Amino acid sequence: MKSLPYFIALLLCFASFTASSQSDVSQDDSRLSETTFSVVEQMPEYPGCESVLDNTARKNCAYKNMIKYISDNLVYPSEAKAAKLEGTVVVSLIVDKEGAITKTQVVKGFDPACEAEALRVINEMPNWKPGMMRDRPVAVSMNLPIRFSL
């Protein structure tokens, strides 16, 4: 009979732990929508490959689509071209939980005209598939290098 009170106490402790864990999870879920992540379970993807089922193939397709978008839309600034300037502009951005590109800024550059052009192209990108954490869309910060080469 001594084991019955012990079992009841153990059961009450477990029930209390489970209830507090569930409230912590709901608090964590509400924090997900307010937090900007650097790494998530599913990183944001450039659009156009949603029908590709294989995860690796979809990521490769998204990467190729993004490169094509950049190469089709990037205009080499004439003053940088005349001065034969080449380099990489790294742009920091956030893909928000709706997939929109926000808060873009140059974190590494080499020429003001090229930096402005890189920002223009990235700011005009279509919405991406947002990053996912615990099956919920979340904001993700990323750095995107744009290479200017003659």
**Given this model, what pLDDT does residue 17 score?**
34
Which H or E element spans position 71? helix 55-73
d(CA 85, CA 106): 17
Q: What is the mean pLDDT of each run of 10 residues along the chain (150 residues)?
A: 43 36 46 83 93 90 96 97 97 97 98 98 97 95 96
Count of C-beta atoms within a 10 Å radius of residue 19: 10
* Contact call for residues 85 and 97 (beta carbons, < 8 A): no
**Given this model, what pLDDT does residue 30 score?**
63
- Measure Cα distances from 51 to 48, 79, 80 in Å: 8, 42, 40
Domain boundaries, the chain: 36-148
CATH number of 36-148: 3.30.1150
Instruction: Show Cβ contacts of residue 97 under 8 Å, excluding neighbours closer than 6 positions.
Output: 33, 130, 136, 137, 138, 139
Which H or E element spans position 78? helix 78-82
pTM of the model: 0.77
**Given this model, what pLDDT does residue 34 score?**
79
* Contact call for residues 138 and 132 (beta carbons, < 8 A): yes
* Contact call for residues 62 and 142 (beta carbons, < 8 A): no
**Given this model, what pLDDT does residue 114 score?**
98
**Given this model, what pLDDT does residue 50 score?**
85
